[in-house]
Structure 1
Amino acid sequence: MSTLSTEARTFNWLLDTFASGTAGVVQAIAVSSDGLLMAMTTAQERANSERLAAVVSGLTSLAVGAASCYPLGGLNRVVLDMEEGYLLVTSISAGSVLGVIAERSANLGTLAYEMTLFVNKAGDALTPKLIDELKSHVRT
């Protein structure tokens, strides 16, 4: 297994820092435009992260399709409000998205702000080359 580039390590570090430093975050993943898992927080199992990536990809597809029906612009964020918590999806760049599972006690305003900070830090660095590297070296 080859060593990750500095950019890939930085992206993974930013994701872990976001998840561990944001109150209420249970799990965070990054999903590429083709629906594949490209990064996940260290404390999660790969199978669970792959399942979440499929859900996030489907939600993203539905949201983008709905957005195209109305003159409201591109996708910013999807929020699923469930009895015991939240699932949030935010666009990163190049069609990639950040998916977050959060506890019910999480402050949605703070969570949205922290997600935006992550996107601002990680989005510009997310090139097609980096996306390919991240997808092929997702933590096991």
Structure 2
Amino acid sequence: MTTPATGISVDAQNFNWLVNRFANDTSGVHAAIAVSSDGLLIAMSAGLDRENADRLGAISSAMLSLAIGVSESYPLGDPDRVVIELTQGYLLVTTISAGCALGALASKQASLGAVAYEMAVFANRATEVLTPRLIEELRYTVGQ
């Protein structure tokens, strides 16, 4: 981990580290973000600038919201993950505890199964640490 930032709790630093680790260590993943249940950015991988991270967060939140709409309208169960296939890659969004979500951009060469597995592992780890207090702190310290 890097040198602790001033004014940021250890839990917030650890969550940001988890997002960066996911993006850096998952083969084929270019970038990752985490958003709160209201669609606000709470973490981003180092490869993104704030403007693009905010945009990716809004898109990820919207896609998950659409999936929730489908689940409320049809008896198919709750959404676990949303995958958007593009000509040169994928956007994957998965739920995390407390209504939060993880979004990831992956290359076309990425193994979707491997990326989905790593997203599930991330979600399980994040579930253990994400509290309402931490989510609130992350909203104000993202990118620091």
TM-score (norm 2): 0.93
Runs of 4+ with deviation above 6 angstroms: none
Give the letter for the 1:4 counterpart.
I
1:131 is matched with which residue? 135
2:121 is matched with which residue? 117
Give the letter for the 1:23 counterpart.
S
Task: Give the CA deviation at 1:2.
Answer: 5.2
- What is the 5 A alignment of 1:29-68? 29-68=33-72
1:53-81 CA-to-partner distances (Å, cap 9, x unmatched) read: 11111111111001111222212000001
1:87 is matched with which residue? 91
Q: Alignment partner for residue 29 of structure 2, among 5, 16, 25? A: 25
Q: What is the root-mean-square deviation in Å for CA atoms of aligned residues?
A: 1.2
2:13 is matched with which residue? 9
**Long gaps (5+) in structure 1:** none
C-alpha separation in 2, matches of 1:79 and 1:30: 16
Overall identity of the aligned pairs, in %: 51
TM-score (norm 1): 0.96
C-alpha separation in 2, matches of 1:100 and 1:43: 12
Q: Alignment partner for residue 101 of structure 1, among 99, 105, 108? A: 105
Give the letter for the 1:115 counterpart.
M
